[in-house]
Structure 1
Amino acid sequence: MYVKLVNPKIHGKTAYNNKGSCQQTLNYLIHEAKREAGEYDIFFDQTKDNLRLEIVRNAIDNNVKGLRSHQEKFFSLIIAPSETELRHIKNSDQLLRNYTRQVMELYASNFNLKEGRRLQSKNLLWFAAIHLEREYRGNDSEVLAGNARVGERRPGLQTHLHVIVSARDREQKITLNPGGRRGRFNLMNWQTACGRQFENQFNYSALETEKLRPRQRDSSRDAARAKRIGERVEALNLLLPKSSRLDGEQVKQIAVSRQYDKTFYRSLKHLEEVAREGLPLQNPYHLLRTGREKVAQQTSSRLQARHLLHAFRMALQPREDRSSHTEDIGERKGKRKGEIEIE
Structure 2
Amino acid sequence: MYITITPQKLGGTYSQSSADFVGYLEKENQGLEQEDMEYFFNQYSDEISAKDVIKEIDENTAKLKKIEPKFYSITVSPSKYELNRLQNSSEELKRYTRELMKDYVSSFNREINGRPIGIDDIKYYAKIEHQRTYKGTDFQIKENQPYASKILQLKTDIRKIENGTMTGNKDEKEKEIAKLEREAPHQQDGKRIVQGMAKSGNQSHIHIIVSRKDASNTVSLSPGSKYKASETEMHGKTVKRGFDRDSFFEKAEKTFDKNFGYHRNFAETYQARKDFIKNPKIYFAALMKLPTNEKALAFKMMGKAGVPMMPSIPVTQGQLAMKIFKGLRRGVEVAIKSSSIGI
Fold shared by both chains (TM-score > 0.5): yes
Instruction: State the shift of 1:61 in Å.
Output: 0.3
> 114-123 or 180-189, which moves further after superposition?
114-123
3-state SS of 2:127 partner: strand
TM-score where L is the length of structure 1: 0.59
Residue 117 of structure 2 aligns with which residue? Answer: 119
Indicate if the aligned counterparts of 1:127 and 1:165 stay in contact, CA closer than 8 A: yes
Structure 1's 98 and 190: CA in aligned 2 closer, same or farther, altered over 3 A?
same
The Cα shift of 1:75 comes to: 0.3
Residue 56, structure 1, aligned to residue 58, structure 2: no
Instruction: Show the counterpart of 2:288.
Output: none
Structure 1 pair 126–151 and aligned structure 2 pair: CA distance change class (3 A)? same
Instruction: Give the TM-score taking structure 2 as reference length.
Output: 0.59
Matched, 1:28 2:24: yes
Q: Which amino acid aligns with 1:92?
A: S
Question: Is 1:214–2:274 an aligned residue pair?
Answer: yes
The separation in 2 between residues aligned to 1:199 and 1:37, in whole angstroms, is: 34
Q: 1:342 to 1:21 in 2, by over 3 A?
A: farther
Identity of aligned residues (%): 27
Is contact 1:80–1:160 with CA below 8 Å preserved after alignment? yes
Letter matched to residue 182 of structure 1: K
The answer for the alignment partner of 1:172 in structure 2 is: 217
Q: Where is the strand percentage greater, Structure 1 or Structure 2?
A: 2
Larger radius of gyration: 2
> Equivalent of 2:262, from 168, 193, 204?
204
Pick 1 or 2: higher relative contact order, CA cutoff 8 A, min separation 6: 2
Taking the aligned partners of 1:68 and 1:46, their CA distance within structure 2 comes to 28
The CA deviation at 1:100 is 0.1
2:75 to 71, 74, 78: 78
Task: Please name the residue that 2:203 is paired with.
Answer: 158
Q: Is the 8 A contact 2:7 2:69 kept in 1?
A: no
Tell me, in whole angstroms, the C-alpha distance in 1 between the residues paired with 2:135 and 2:31: 18
Paired residues in the alignment total 224
Cα deviation 1:3-61 (Å, max 9, x = unaligned): 2112556xxx46x9744100111011112443677766610000111110111000000
Contact 1:2/1:81 (<8 A) preserved: yes
Secondary structure at 1:151 match in 2:
coil
Paired AA for residue 127 in structure 1 = Y
CA contact (8 A) 1:19 1:71 kept: no
The equivalent of 1:133 in structure 2 is 131
The residue type paired with residue 65 of structure 2 is R
- For structure 2, list consecutive stretches of 5 or more residues without a partner in the other structure: 145-185, 187-192, 230-241, 280-331
Shift of 1:207: 2.0
1:186 aligns with 2:231: no
CA displacement 1:229-253 (0-9 Å, x = unmatched): xxxxxxxxxxxxxxxxxxxxxxxxx
3-state DSSP of counterpart to 1:158: coil
* Two-structure CA RMSD over aligned residues (Å): 2.8
For the residue of structure 2 that corresponds to 1:145, the secondary structure is helix
Note if contact 1:110-1:185 (Cα within 8 Å) is conserved in structure 2. Answer: yes
Structure 1, unmatched stretches of 5+, are: 219-334
